[in-house]
Amino acid sequence: MSTKSGLVVTAHPGDFVWRAGGAIALHAKKGYRMKIACLSYGERGESQFAWKKAGVSMEEVKAGRRAEAEAAAKLLGAEIEFFDAGDYPLRPTEAILDRLIDIYREEKPSFVLTHALEDPYNFDHPVAAHLAQEARIVAQSAGHKPDPTRAYSAPPVFLFEPHQPEQCNFKPNTILNIDEVWEVKRQAFEILAAQKHLWEYYTRVALNRGVQGGRNTGKPMTYGEAYQRLFPQALEELA
Amino acid sequence: MSTKSGLVVTAHPGDFVWRAGGAIALHAKKGYRMKIACLSYGERGESQFAWKKAGVSMEEVKAGRRAEAEAAAKLLGAEIEFFDAGDYPLRPTEAILDRLIDIYREEKPSFVLTHALEDPYNFDHPVAAHLAQEARIVAQSAGHKPDPTRAYSAPPVFLFEPHQPEQCNFKPNTILNIDEVWEVKRQAFEILAAQKHLWEYYTRVALNRGVQGGRNTGKPMTYGEAYQRLFPQALEELA
Amino acid sequence: MSTKSGLVVTAHPGDFVWRAGGAIALHAKKGYRMKIACLSYGERGESQFAWKKAGVSMEEVKAGRRAEAEAAAKLLGAEIEFFDAGDYPLRPTEAILDRLIDIYREEKPSFVLTHALEDPYNFDHPVAAHLAQEARIVAQSAGHKPDPTRAYSAPPVFLFEPHQPEQCNFKPNTILNIDEVWEVKRQAFEILAAQKHLWEYYTRVALNRGVQGGRNTGKPMTYGEAYQRLFPQALEELA
Amino acid sequence: MSTKSGLVVTAHPGDFVWRAGGAIALHAKKGYRMKIACLSYGERGESQFAWKKAGVSMEEVKAGRRAEAEAAAKLLGAEIEFFDAGDYPLRPTEAILDRLIDIYREEKPSFVLTHALEDPYNFDHPVAAHLAQEARIVAQSAGHKPDPTRAYSAPPVFLFEPHQPEQCNFKPNTILNIDEVWEVKRQAFEILAAQKHLWEYYTRVALNRGVQGGRNTGKPMTYGEAYQRLFPQALEELA
Amino acid sequence: MSTKSGLVVTAHPGDFVWRAGGAIALHAKKGYRMKIACLSYGERGESQFAWKKAGVSMEEVKAGRRAEAEAAAKLLGAEIEFFDAGDYPLRPTEAILDRLIDIYREEKPSFVLTHALEDPYNFDHPVAAHLAQEARIVAQSAGHKPDPTRAYSAPPVFLFEPHQPEQCNFKPNTILNIDEVWEVKRQAFEILAAQKHLWEYYTRVALNRGVQGGRNTGKPMTYGEAYQRLFPQALEELA
Amino acid sequence: MSTKSGLVVTAHPGDFVWRAGGAIALHAKKGYRMKIACLSYGERGESQFAWKKAGVSMEEVKAGRRAEAEAAAKLLGAEIEFFDAGDYPLRPTEAILDRLIDIYREEKPSFVLTHALEDPYNFDHPVAAHLAQEARIVAQSAGHKPDPTRAYSAPPVFLFEPHQPEQCNFKPNTILNIDEVWEVKRQAFEILAAQKHLWEYYTRVALNRGVQGGRNTGKPMTYGEAYQRLFPQALEELA
């Protein structure tokens, strides 16, 4: 069994499904330990449906979204940890940052997936991306919970695709082939019953990114997930 | 023997040495067939030294630069083809484009290295980069010298580092570890006797890119070459 | 009477006069209900004059600016609400955000006017723009003060022109013809007695934006106000 | 009958179908005279299929593409004029520029549709966009074929969506609702038999742009076409 | 008498007056030899007025603009050389480039003023800027008309302000105080009788750039000219 | 003795040495009063070495870094003031902002040096740059600690070079010649014993910036420091 792991830092439950569900399922299948840090339950912004029920309480809505998120994570093969950091707006605390730093050090992930750096439609997304990066940096610091025996190296960061990529100045430089896990990703969509209008939208996104992935390499790809790698890649060979 | 190949499209002889000498030597060592398309002899802009000789002719200067370029290419392990397309300014013709298209089809390179897209200090550089890209694109066209049996897929493009990277809006996203061929690259510098003032400059560039390569990955690197990959990468795994 | 409305979110009183006075007066004249959310009184940064009076207190300065702002709003035909969020620096609280969300929901504005996203001369401006956008987004959230009967749709956002547009990366894509309300805007300038040095400056800005507005369309315009529309426009016809 | 018109300047036949077919059909239906300036037949780059036929000649391929383009233009309700300016690479001449200037003056279009300003996958596209803009500008010049009685005003320019928008730095700011002509656009796809692999791709693009169009306005839209308006819009009202 | 000089490379006669008239007059007054390379007579694009005269010929229009340009240059204190490179569109030849290179070498200017790098309203402007830069670079080349005794160092480049700065991605980083020559610049405006509509426009530009110049430094300035310096400045002291 | 002064706002002690040590020493030598506002001791991020000592306390680490920073400041000729604002992450308070505003007013610096506006490797750096700018702006405000006799004018801001300039979108437009103080800067490196791996790195940076400084001006320079000037410069002469 591989001891590699991958970390996903997401503002809301829907995000890890639509934007990174393929990467999660694919690496889980390859034996990576996949961990999702889910900052909010999406209890205010993603839950229009739930709020239509007369007299529903915030705790009920949160519980519903939590159950969905757990089911989706399980299906994709990931462990999920909730931070309950607020939704619309997301307001991370120092304690949340602290816990996320610990996760980086515990998991020593081989890569981190998070939101685009800008999103004029949803300010929770850049807040999550900022937190993911800040924790990644502080985790390097020798003087934060010092332990001279610790080894930690900041992992590469990949931004996943926002809803309207051009408006977020998202420029993909990586397309992940998710053909072998597509069916799992699609099943995870269907757990998000309240956002049924997005199932077909993100199926089309996956198909069009697949065409682009094939066109950029000459190798066939049906379903793709687009990412923007943030830091330079060190290579031993260019092809 | 590997049948893979790599193509370098360069405006002047110095460029392939300073900017891509490590990649050429490294891939040659790995068994790639490395081919340099050298658009001009650098007979006007890079040859201050030669022109100090009283009565020297253009043909003599070209011959001198050609000899240097051939020696450097040989040392690095590459084949070189000259296009004599003019220098300061470089003015490619349709015939030169046509020949470069043929080279793409003959070599089917696994990658192409060329200049940054902008360079306010040297307009020959973006002209070369444009030509390299145009030939890469036209080579895909079924109706250019049609041959239904031909297989060709446009290779990834890497821009090599210009002299003043920030002024050229060059943003490296790839750092190639050239430790195992550094000595060869440095020897190639010394063939360029007229540009002795740049030997140490580009040694320092290689050392500092090496530090950055190590810092971005946690894996040690002493000498690096920085590149900007131009098209999205299709991947099967993120780490 | 029109039931349409427009919302202006401004850091300081001067801003809504110099930058959006034409739009306010024009839409008020067309029957829009115009509402100004004025985050601070500009009591520290815009009030050099007031502070020259020996022994003047903060409350006196605020009262003076408030009176000016009310007079200007009235002249332009708008209602104004003050938030007293601090000036130099502006520090919005969660309560201020909450009230602004309520305003979006109450007014259901057809458009929002606010500051440019960057301003290296005045950090209160991007803070105001961020707040205006965050409130606009949270107002969409079903779970914020839930009410299933509520209808709300996030309005288009227009950024008004900063003092030094190029330094703020402000790129106007909309020029509003304010010819028919120019005299009112100019009168509003004169209410801002302490900033007399800007009356002619912003008269010239209006005239030059007018020339540009005419040049971009072929239709005459004398006085213009420049805006940067932030989100895509959905159209039924291109001309 | 309306006397308004619209002009489309396209490098290849496929482009006006995939990228602007909705706008053409929609405005034709509204009574606009729609004119397509088709710079090449796409005889080399878009015609892989045709070149698979043994012994086929360039003239036969061109004739085939021309017939397809005429059929598609007719279906969409547009007149088409061919320039035969070469393909892969497109090389416009001064005579072509001159004819295009005449078209601007004859048609006095209310809008112009053309390619994105950058396209690293296809250099013919920015060449066409540049030509469309240069002709638009020169048409304004009093001294080009002088005629003091002439009235001409440079129309707004909309860039249509390239194949991989983010790689072309294409940022849509306009989404045209093409619901009422979608069936016609889709039928036009099917005339392009050789590019069957793109039918579904561009159907998905239209559906996803439709979702985005609705999301940016709150008004429902099923099929959209994305455009980037290039010059500021002069308005009399913001909503 | 100073032996310093300055060079202005301009597409059309109007440009050196509106955009650089202050710098020309100011440096002339300081004793600089000021040289204007005027690439076209503006005989097609800037001469609407002239073409209204029935039966006027191209040669008459050119002669009229030439006379105006000479008068304006003389008033500002500069020498002017015409290149007659065409107008709308400007099409420089290799001979024009060659002459411009000679001028750089003859004048050894301390600075060069030319157009912004982009201008979607006027493609002659970036063509002129490109030519100015290409000549500046080739003039450095030892092998162009070799002469080992020659000393030449490429001068700093300042881009002058286009008509609609934000649309040209023009970002001023230098504001020249032209107070002491303003009256001369204004008089030069009045030589351009056909463009009377621009006299007040560019007076307002000068006044507003003056306000900005004062605001960025705390030192009073009434009339300013904005420039974008293109290359890094080497300094011995920061203040 | 000059009464001019310069201010340096730095996140960590290392930064003022590597990035601005030359400017500090140079201006100190010219008689400027140089003041360093050192926001943190770098006690967590820059002190790997110190934390390897078993049982070391935070206070001991801070004291060690403070001693080093004081020694380096003294050697460079500057006064240093510590803010102890936290490290990894840096979290400035309103009290720290207030003190920094006072410093601007006390020092009336002729220039300010601070960090680049972005740094994905170290979020403390943009936080420091933001604070430096906010204090500079608020210091202008008449209503902050009002005193009608006060004279203060916001000084020019220069961003110093980050560790990986292209990744921080740092674009140098100023290269300071530090030849005459190089030895002092190099000695200051050696005070930072824990970061010995950076001594040679930043020596190479200085040498390469020196080459670039010479190349941009034709005047020789051996050691340079690169800066990005943030606001327009008002000039009386262009050369």
Helix (H) or strand (E) holding A210: helix A199-217
The CA dihedral of F159, F164, F166, F168, to the nearest 10 degrees, is: -50
Least confident of B90-104, E164-178, E187-201: E187-201
3-state secondary structure of A205: helix
Q: Which chains would you list as touching F if contact means 3+ CB atom pairs under 8 Å? A: A, B, C, E
Mutation to test the C interface, candidates E208, E217, E227, most C Cβ within 10 Å:
E208
Q: Residue ranges per domain, chain A? A: 5-229
- C-alpha B238/C-alpha A129 separation (Å) is 18
Nearest chain E alpha carbon to D98: E89
pLDDT tens-place string over residues E30-41: 999 999 999 999
Q: Say what the pLDDT of residue B2 is.
A: 47
Q: Where do we find the tokens 């097609």?
A: E44
Among D45, D56, D167, beta carbon nearest to B141: D45
Measured in angstroms, the CA of B49 and the nearest CA of chain D are apart by 38
Q: What is the DSSP letter of E232?
A: P
Q: Which residues of C fall within a CB distance of 8 Å from E211?
A: 197, 201
Contact D124, D18 (CB under 8 A): no
E35-53: burial string, b at 16+ Cβ within 10 Å, e else: bbbbbbbbbbbbbbebbee
Handedness of CA A44, A47, A52, A55 (dihedral sign): negative
Q: How confident is the model at residue E195 (pLDDT cuts 50, 70, 90)?
A: confident
Among B43, B48, B89, beta carbon nearest to E134: B89
- Flag if A211 and D201 touch (Cβ within 8 Å): yes
pLDDT tens-place string over residues E54-72: 889 999 999 999 999 999 9
Q: What is the DSSP letter of A135?
A: H
Q: Identify residue D20 by its one-letter amino acid code.
A: A
3-state secondary structure of C230: coil
Average pLDDT along chain B: 95
Among F110, F177, F237, beta carbon nearest to E236: F177
Least confident of A131-135, C50-54, D5-9, F65-69: C50-54
- Flag if C166 and E166 touch (Cβ within 8 Å): yes
A111-114 vs A5-10, strand pairing mode: parallel
- C-alpha C102/C-alpha E207 separation (Å) is 43
- C-alpha A222/C-alpha A183 separation (Å) is 12
Q: What is the DSSP letter of A20?
A: H
Q: Which residues of B fall within a CB distance of 8 Å from D45?
A: 140-143
pLDDT tens-place string over residues E62-115: 999 999 999 999 999 999 999 999 999 999 999 999 999 999 999 999 999 999
- C-alpha E144/C-alpha A33 separation (Å) is 64
- Flag if F123 and A142 touch (Cβ within 8 Å): no
State the complex-level ipTM. 0.95
- C-alpha C210/C-alpha C221 separation (Å) is 5
pLDDT above 80 for B210: yes
Q: Which residues of A fall within a CB distance of 8 Å from B212?
A: 232
Q: Say what the pLDDT of residue A51 is.
A: 92
pLDDT above 50 for C1: no
Q: Say what the pLDDT of residue F54 is.
A: 86
- C-alpha D3/C-alpha D125 separation (Å) is 29
Ranges of chain F with pLDDT below 70: 1-2
Partners of A37 in beta bridges: A9, A81
Contact E103, E37 (CB under 8 A): yes
Alpha carbon distance, N-terminus to C-terminus of chain E: 28
pLDDT cut 70: percent of chain D above it: 99
- C-alpha D74/C-alpha A146 separation (Å) is 74
- Flag if D142 and E54 touch (Cβ within 8 Å): no
Among D133, D141, D231, beta carbon nearest to E44: D141
pLDDT tens-place string over residues C211-229: 999 998 888 999 999 999 9
Q: Which chains would you list as touching C if contact means 3+ CB atom pairs under 8 Å? A: A, D, E, F
- C-alpha C40/C-alpha C25 separation (Å) is 21
Q: Which residues of E fall within a CB distance of 8 Å from F178?
A: none
pLDDT tens-place string over residues C153-165: 999 999 999 999 9
Q: How confident is the model at residue E182 (pLDDT cuts 50, 70, 90)?
A: very high
pLDDT above 60 for D188: yes
Side-chain-side CA neighbours of C168 within 13 Å: the count stands at 22
CB-based touch C/B (3+ pairs, under 8 A): no
- C-alpha F208/C-alpha F191 separation (Å) is 23
Find, among C72, C80, C69, the residue nearest to C184 by Cα.
C72
Contact E50, E61 (CB under 8 A): yes
Q: Which residues of C fall within a CB distance of 8 Å from D158?
A: 238
Nearest chain C alpha carbon to D158: C238
| Mean pLDDT (10-residue bins), chain A, 239 residues | 85 97 98 98 88 92 96 98 97 98 97 98 98 97 92 96 98 98 98 89 98 90 98 95
Among F133, F144, F148, beta carbon nearest to C88: F144
Contact A9, A100 (CB under 8 A): yes
- C-alpha F179/C-alpha F23 separation (Å) is 11
Q: Assess whether the previous peptide bond of B155 is cis (omega < 30° from 0).
A: no
pLDDT tens-place string over residues C13-40: 999 999 999 999 999 999 999 999 999 9
Find, among E203, E191, E231, the residue nearest to E69 by Cα.
E191
- Flag if B52 and E232 touch (Cβ within 8 Å): no
Q: Which chains would you list as touching B if contact means 3+ CB atom pairs under 8 Å? A: A, D, E, F
Helix (H) or strand (E) holding B113: strand B111-114
pLDDT tens-place string over residues C165-220: 999 999 999 999 999 999 999 999 999 987 888 999 999 999 999 999 999 888 89
Mutation to test the E interface, candidates B60, B62, B121, B164, most E Cβ within 10 Å:
B121
pLDDT tens-place string over residues D39-82: 999 999 888 888 988 889 999 999 999 999 999 999 999 999 99
Helices and strands of chain B, counted as H and E runs: 7, 8
Measured in angstroms, the CA of D126 and the nearest CA of chain E are apart by 14
- Flag if C143 and A47 touch (Cβ within 8 Å): yes
Among B47, B89, B167, beta carbon nearest to E142: B47
- Structure-token pair, residue C208: 């030059």
Among A172, A205, A215, beta carbon nearest to D166: A172
- Flag if D47 and B143 touch (Cβ within 8 Å): yes
Handedness of CA B127, B128, B132, B138 (dihedral sign): positive
DSSP string, A192-204: -GGGGGGHHHHHH
CA E135-E140-E145 angle, 5° bins: 85
- C-alpha C49/C-alpha B239 separation (Å) is 61
- C-alpha D169/C-alpha A166 separation (Å) is 8
Q: Which residues of F fall within a CB distance of 8 Å from E172?
A: 232
- Flag if A45 and C140 touch (Cβ within 8 Å): yes
What lies within 8 Å, CB to CB, of A140 at 6+ separation is A152, A153, A154, F45, F88
Report how far Cα B208 is from the mean position of its chain's Cα atoms: 20
- C-alpha A144/C-alpha F23 separation (Å) is 32
Q: How confident is the model at residue E2 (pLDDT cuts 50, 70, 90)?
A: very low
Among F137, F144, F231, beta carbon nearest to C123: F137
CB-based touch F/E (3+ pairs, under 8 A): yes
Among F146, F148, F230, beta carbon nearest to C120: F230
Beta-carbon pairs below 8 A across chains A and D? 38
- Structure-token pair, residue D96: 């072509």
Contact D104, D7 (CB under 8 A): yes
Q: CATH homologous superfamily of domain D5-229?
A: LmbE-like (3.40.50.10320)
- C-alpha C89/C-alpha F136 separation (Å) is 11
- C-alpha A109/C-alpha A92 separation (Å) is 22
Average pLDDT over residues B154-172: 98
- CA distances (Å), B131 to each of B158, B169, C86, D108, F126, in order? 14, 19, 57, 36, 39
- C-alpha D97/C-alpha D104 separation (Å) is 11
Identify residues of D whose CB sits under 8 angstroms from chain C CBs: 4, 6, 23, 26-27, 30, 110-111, 113, 153-156, 158, 172-177, 212-214, 216-219, 221, 224, 226-227, 229, 231-239
In D77-198, alpha helices (H) = 94-107, 124-138, 182-191
- C-alpha B41/C-alpha C143 separation (Å) is 69
